[in-house]
A and B are shown apart, each in its own frame.
Chain A
Amino acid sequence: MKLRNQLKAALRSLGKNKMRTFLTMLGIIIGVASVIAMLAIGQGSKESIQKQIANLGTNLLTVFPSASMTGGVRMEAGSSVKLTMDDYKAVSSRCPAVLYSTPTVRTSGQLIAGGQNWRTTVWGVYPDYFNIRNLDIDKGAAFTLNDDRTATKVCVIGQTVNKYLFGEGQDPTGKIIRINKIPFQVIGLIATKGQNAWGQDQDDIVIAPFNTVQVRMMTVAYIQSIMLSATSEKMIPEATDEVTQVLKERHRLGPSEDPDFSIRSQADISSAATATSSILTALLASIASISLLVGGIGIMNIMLVSVTERTREIGIRMGVGARGRDVLLQFLIEALMISLIGGLLGVGLGIVASGVIASIMSWPVTITIQSIVLSFMFSTVIGIFFGWYPARKAASLNPIDALRYE
């Protein structure tokens, strides 16, 4: 039988039982749609996590002193004072894989401006910090190394701080805020950064020159951490090695001894977060594909009923010369048609559902071509797989018995 006639015959017999065909199809439609929607949610969250991490600066490395241990009681990381300005200078001058670097100190400060007050973290850093963290200045300007040298009382503030002290959208440059009773002049406003991957508000920040914070606010001699960025993402391991070597040498530690500091890279966090969301995506998609599988069983069920109902028709067709494979193909094409049309409608429904999820739940949603192709192909495979057995059953009928079947 010619394929065109086969397709026509399949369409007609599916059309004879419209309700049944539609309900059978519904299993596939829902299956495909949920696979697409789940993959879209997974992909969306993965991309948004990646974007947020990239926002922090993917080449970012942070050097912390290790936790101190006094009499067996381990303290918080960074609780011992083991990094000094000399460490920083050695790292910044002797590591070719390091592009930007800054020592950091941070303290919490009560900010007062006019009648408003706000409590937040005050960072003391070099201007390189803005490059390392990909911070853009919205209004005004960043401070310079000169401000640092002279320990000038200037600062740059984040959008959240601006909102609570001066009101949203106000230009804070030139205004004076008092941080822990020390007056600072605001010289810049950082562009909105949003939340980071852990839900922390990155706009709730005050950044001032390193020396100003270290000497004028904290009156300490140590530095809390060194932040640096590798020349490229590929150079992160290289930079890590260089920094480790330099600091071990300075701290008089042998190559086999454990370092008394730790280096955290943004890439570690990034890959961990990406892996987590990939697992989540796979989990969601596999749950959704179970519904596709159930849809396939629905096809098989209906096709088996159909073969029994149409035993006589099969007998007639065989009587006038249909071979086993003609009958097989006929039923297989019907099953395939249910899954193909169901797959197409499912793709449509999946896209709509993803859009609805995105707008109602305001989740990040990304539909990829791969997910559409994958779920559509999956539905096709299911059609063939679950259509095969009923079709085989039809094809193996004995024409005499089939013709006599009541």
Chain B
Amino acid sequence: MHLQWVVHPRAAAPVEEEGADMKETIISVNHLVKIYKMGDLEVHALRGIKLDIYKSDFVAIMGKSGSGKSTFMNIAGCLDVPTKGDYMLDGVDVGKLNKDQLAHLRNKKIGFVFQSFNLLSRTSALENVELPLMYNSKITSKEMKERSINALEEVGLASRSHHFPSQLSGGEQQRVAIARALVNNPVVILADEPTGNLDTRTSVEVMSIFQKLNTQGITVIIVTHEPDIAAYTNRNVTFRDGRIQKDLTVEKPRNAAAELLTMPVLSEEDTI
């Protein structure tokens, strides 16, 4: 098997550290293959992926464009289905689900954060955060509001809940997006290049929020091609040509919150 050389340090580690008390697997993919058909041409985006992600993992998926990392994220996020292979998300066999069931799963178990924020314009921050709960018929509007305000508090934006996206800075918009990903208590937050459109300081701010959420036990997976950003996570998985090239534990992750304190706040005077 061509995947046998891949190092899985984390797969074995918990057994050694915690004995029989094994970590709960949130995402488990096996022999995952995705082939796009473009006319007669077949594009092999994923060529057999085996990956387990555990509860409270903070994973960075890395790789060049075309390595298959986005395809993996789409499948992991239940936006797409694999051509072959198994995908278990929190005990649910995703491969067997239809479109509506996938939508339901996205609503219940997944929170998305995008590179370009993807907030609804002319809709307040609070209402943007409420959006996933709108599609959950079991939640009352009172509960919806409470949970959304809590989520905004979590990202430190409770005071700006009635601002529109156009009135918020890029970092603030991304924090609203994180609150939106958070509001339905997902088992995993998937972030696709969450710092791609942000400057350094704001990127660190966003990473500090992810780190904070991760310490609370939330599983976070981010896609990034910046090693600096990946250094804030606990585990780096590198994709190459549709296969996993490396899967390494980060021995000493950087602490975003601590770095933020030492970082100078750039003002207009610093512009040369």
Contacts and interface: CB of A to CB of B under 8 A. Distances in A.
A317 B180 CA distance: 12
B114 A403 contact: yes
A234 interface: no
Contact of A319 (B79, B99, B108, B136): B79
Contacts of B137: 1-2
Interface string B57-101: 000000000000000001001011000000000000000000110
A contacts with B: majority SS: helix
Interface string A293-327: 00000000000000000001101111111111110
Interface residues of A, number: 23
A74 interface: no
A287 interface: no
B227 to A, nearest CB: 25
A12 B131 CA distance: 14
Given A1-B134, A2-B137, A320 B180 contact: yes
Contact of A400 (B79, B107, B119, B134): B79
A285 B261 CA distance: 75
B120 A321 contact: no
A333 to B, nearest CB: 14
A322 B120 contact: no
A324 B100 CA distance: 7
A1 B132 CA distance: 10
A317 B184 CA distance: 14
A252 interface: no
Given A319-B79, A320-B180, A403 B135 contact: no
B103 A321 contact: yes
B104 interface: yes
A315 B120 CA distance: 11
Interface residues of B, number: 27
Interface string B117-141: 0111011000000011011110001
Contact of A320 (B74, B80, B135): B135
Interface in A35-53: none
A322 B118 contact: no
A323 B99 contact: yes
A399 interface: yes
A16 B122 CA distance: 8
Contacts of A323: 99-100, 103-104, 135
A321 B119 CA distance: 15
Contacts of B79: 319, 399-400, 403
A5 B132 CA distance: 12
Interface string A312-356: 110111111111111000000000000000000000000000000
B106 A324 contact: no
A122 to B, nearest CB: 82
A1 B104 CA distance: 12
Nearest to A318: B103
Contacts of A321: 103-104, 106-108, 132, 135-136, 184
B112 interface: yes
Nearest to A5: B134
A322 B74 contact: no
Nearest to A396: B99
Contacts of A316: 118-120, 131
A323 B97 CA distance: 13
Nearest to A395: B99
Interface string B147-191: 000000000000000000000000000000000100010000000
B118 A403 contact: yes
Contacts of B120: 313, 316
Contacts of B112: 319-320
A319 B134 contact: no
B131 A320 contact: yes
A295 to B, nearest CB: 27
A87 to B, nearest CB: 85
Nearest to A322: B135
A43 to B, nearest CB: 46
Contacts of A315: 118
Interface string A1-36: 110010001001000100000000000000000000
Contacts of A9: 134
Residue of A316, A319, A324, A325 ringed by the most chain B CB atoms within 10 A: A319
A19 to B, nearest CB: 15
A319 B134 CA distance: 13
B99 A320 contact: no
Nearest to A4: B141
Contact of B118 (A1, A2, A312, A400): A312
Given A312-B118, A324-B103, 10 more contacts: A2-B137, A5-B134, A316-B131, A319-B79, A319-B112, A320-B132, A321-B103, A321-B135, A321-B136, A403-B79
15 contacts: A1-B134, A2-B137, A317-B131, A317-B135, A319-B79, A319-B112, A320-B106, A320-B107, A320-B131, A321-B108, A323-B100, A324-B99, A324-B103, A325-B100, A400-B80
